[in-house]
Structure formats: C-alpha cells, structure tokens
Amino acid sequence: MKLLISNDDGILSLGVRSLADALAEAGHEVTVVCPNRERSATGHGLTLHEPLRAEVVNSIFHPKVTAWSCSGTPSDCVKLGLWGLMENAPDLVLAGINHGSNLGTDVLYSGTVSAAMEGFIQGIPSIAFSLANYTSQEFQVAAMFAKTLVTQIDKQPLPEPTLLNVNVPPIPLSEIAGVKITRQGIRRYIETFEKRADPRGKTYYWLVGEVVEDVEQPDHLHLPSEIPTDVQAIRDRYISVTPMQYNLTDAAGVHGLQEQGLGNWELGIGN
C-alpha cells in the first residue's frame, strides 16, 4: 500500500521511525512528512501567514522510506504531503506513533489525531497511533499492531473512508489483554499554572495540569453502555480502537432547540 505518515513529536522522534520502518520492511511504499520540531498539542492548527519549508531527510529511516522535514504543524505536513510532495494520493494516512496517550477529550488538542483527521477530511482512510505512556521508549508492540492493522486493511479495505484513533498500552505483548473497539471517553485535568520568572525578572506561566483518572464516563447517545471507553480499555490493558468523525453536531441539542422553538423566533432587528 502507499502510505503517508506524519506526527506531532517531530521528524527525529523514535515513534515515527518505528512506525515508518516497520511498514517499509513489510513492503509498503512509505512517505514521511513530519514537523521539524515537536509540535504536540497544536490541534488542527494551520500555517497561513508565513511560508512552509520542507527538506528531504536522509539516513534516519529505512532506505525505502522517503522522508521530509516540514516547518509547519502536523496538519500542514499532511496537506503538504498530499498536495505538494506526493505524486499520487496514498491509500492510507497514518499519524504517530505518538509518545503518550490520546484518549478521551485529549483528541481535541492532539496534533497526532489532527494529522490523521486531515487525511480523513480529504477522503482518505486515516489512523492515529499512540503509545499510552510519556516515558516508555518501547514502541515495538505499537508498531507491530500498526503493521497488522494495515495488512488487514490491505486485504479487506474499509467500506468507506474512516478515521481510527488507536492507543496501545505500554506493556509487553504477552501482557496485552486483547483489542477493544471503543467509544471516546473523558479525561479531565487539575489545571495548574506555575508562576515563574525568567533571567530578566519577567513573569511567565507554565501549564502543569495533572490528569484526573477516576472521572465517571458518561453514556453515549447512540451506543450501548457495554461498549467500553478508550480510557477504560487502556486501564484494562487492551489496545483501544476508536472510530471517530469531524462532525461535532450535537443531535440531541438540535432536537432540543427545535422543541424550544428557537428556529421560529423573530429577531426583531431594527426595532
């Protein structure tokens, strides 16, 4: 398969190298376009007021990987890869392997998920991969699962363009309980800003939020409660696979506003 890979940890990260090399060794045609530095938590930001620059990267990846370092965000990288660097559209867009989880509401901030989302917006099946730990350097299991999943999709293509958010526990393969198809959960943080002073005595603030692990997970409007959340699956040592979409319309909210007659209100402009 022809694959476009990006990330938000930067072109030098071990996660993207593990993913790209594993898929190149499996015989896939791999193009990598990644930020030239870490761009974590940039969400779906785009560079609109300055030029994008891209340089070929040699000697980091498997010899069969074509790699580029880009000055932009993860979403920039995917857009540039699709419309500026690749001659033909890929079969899949992949993002990761991120160093740290992308669970629950974290996906709203995630550059990794946004990179995959950009491929999905362009009508290409896309997958975001994350290792659910910020200190572990063991990406082998996540890369192995990515290779297995891509092989399965190659043999049995997804019925329509799909976005998958995959999180892998940071444990040996023998300790993983299995794979769960999950729904998006919630992650909340105790938000704290440390007030500091720079060498010139000027004040600055550093976000040091701490995740709250025992948040109650709500029922989903359209899915039965027995489908676990991504947060719970990782906690139970399962690989979490969550289908996602970019349409954020609240169906219940639409019906609620209609019942209130909001669409029938007269604005009375000029009265």
Sorted by where each begins, the domain ranges of the chain are 2-186+225-255
Please state, in angstroms and rounded to a whole number, the distance separating the CA atoms of residues 174 and 176: 6
Question: What share of the chain has pLDDT > 70, as a percent?
Answer: 90
Tokens standing for residue 155 = 């043999």
Q: Give the DSSP H or E segment for 130.
A: strand 126-131
Please state, in angstroms and rounded to a whole number, the distance separating the CA atoms of residues 38 and 102: 16
Query: Which SS3 state, helix, strand or coil, does residue 171 take?
Result: coil
pLDDT tens digits along 85-129: 999 999 999 999 999 999 988 899 999 999 999 999 999 999 999
Q: Determine the pLDDT at residue 224.
A: 64
Tokens standing for residue 18 = 């593990």
Please state, in angstroms and rounded to a whole number, the distance separating the CA atoms of residues 201 and 13: 34
Please state, in angstroms and rounded to a whole number, the distance separating the CA atoms of residues 123 and 138: 32
- Residue 37 identity: R
Tokens standing for residue 157 = 């293509």
Q: What parts of the chain have a pLDDT lower than 50? A: none
Q: What is the DSSP string of 205-241?
A: EEE--EEETTPPPPPPSSS-TTSPBHHHHHHTTEEEE
Tokens standing for residue 109 = 């901030």
For Cα atoms 40, 52, 32, give the angle at the middle one, nearest 5 degrees.
60
From the list 53, 63, 69, the residue with the least C-alpha distance to 12 is 69
pLDDT tens digits along 38-55: 998 888 999 999 999 999
Q: What is the bridge-based pairing of β-strands 203-207 and 193-197?
A: antiparallel
Q: Determine the pLDDT at residue 249.
A: 85
Q: Give the DSSP H or E segment for 57.
A: strand 54-57
Q: Determine the pLDDT at residue 234.
A: 94
Please state, in angstroms and rounded to a whole number, the distance separating the CA atoms of residues 95 and 39: 13
Q: Determine the pLDDT at residue 206.
A: 81
Q: Determine the pLDDT at residue 195.
A: 87
For Cα atoms 237, 242, 244, give the angle at the middle one, nearest 5 degrees.
160
- CATH 3.40.1210.10 matches 2-186+225-255: yes
How many other CB atoms sit within 10 Å of the CB of residue 158? 13
